[in-house]
Amino acid sequence: MQPPRAIVWDWDNTLVDAWAGIAAGLNMVLAAYGKPVWTVAEARTRIRGSVRDTFPAMFGPDWRRAADMLRENMQACHLDHLTLLPGTEAALDAAAIWPMAIVSNKEGGILRREVAHLGWSARFGAVVGAGDASADKPHAAPIWHALAMIGVNPGQDVWYVGDTGSDMQAAHAAGCLAVLVGDAAHDGGIARLEETGAAPHLHCQDGLALAARLRGFTPGE
């Protein structure tokens, strides 16, 4: 396998664990609409699409008001729940010799605040969240948007690193290398991804394994 020309990362459950904050913000909205609240585990399993892709089905014609409530709730508490996943810093350090970007289905403004909170803004040439491109993952548009911002064309030597089937679908759609971190248990496992056409091109068990893979390349190899 050739070394990457650039690396684009998913955010939640790939580099950081922010699910407690996501669940807390969402549960305030669900409670306001008289709907059952979700555990953090349920949020991990159920949340795949962006707000603009999922809230219309959840809240009907009032979905934009519900989205505004979620944004306000997240702004109030999301930084309090932000932690790094094991191996994240090792993976980012190993990848630092290549151009990098973030593409997430988290709302763009909230995403960029989280990146800045960790002191990572300088690491990434682009930080693209939900609503920043013409469509959100699993569409290819946000990956293409991020690559345009860092001056890189899509290709199989551009890695998109994520943890879900949606991430793998987006990578395939964008014409990039689909790199899975973790076991995708929340999507039924890797076998299920293969059945649905979202198989990764490369699988790493965690950030440390990905870091080791990246350290095996040298610039210009």
Determine, yes or no, domain membership for 1: no
Give the Cα separation of 207 and 189 in Å (integer): 18
pLDDT per position as a tens digit, 88-133: 999 999 999 999 999 999 999 999 999 999 999 999 999 999 999 9
The residue type found at 18 is A
pLDDT in the model for residue 43: 84
Checking if the pLDDT of 218 tops 80, the result is no
Of 34, 55, 81, the last residue of a domain is: 81
pLDDT in the model for residue 117: 93
Question: What residues pair up with 161 in beta bridges, in sequence order?
Answer: 9, 179
* Domain coverage including residue 168: 6-17+83-215
Show the beta-strand stretches assigned E in 4-76: 6-9, 16-17
- Judge if pTM exceeds 0.85: no
Does one domain contain both 141 and 211?
Answer: yes
Q: Is the dihedral of CA 106, 178, 211, 187 positive or negative?
A: positive
Of 61, 81, 101, the last residue of a domain is: 81
Q: Residue 169 maps to which CATH number?
A: 3.40.50.1000
Of 81, 100, 120, the last residue of a domain is: 81
Tally of structural domains, the chain: 2
Does one domain contain both 69 and 119?
Answer: no
What is the helix (H) or strand (E) element at residue 128, kind and residue range? Answer: strand 126-130
Does one domain contain both 140 and 76?
Answer: no
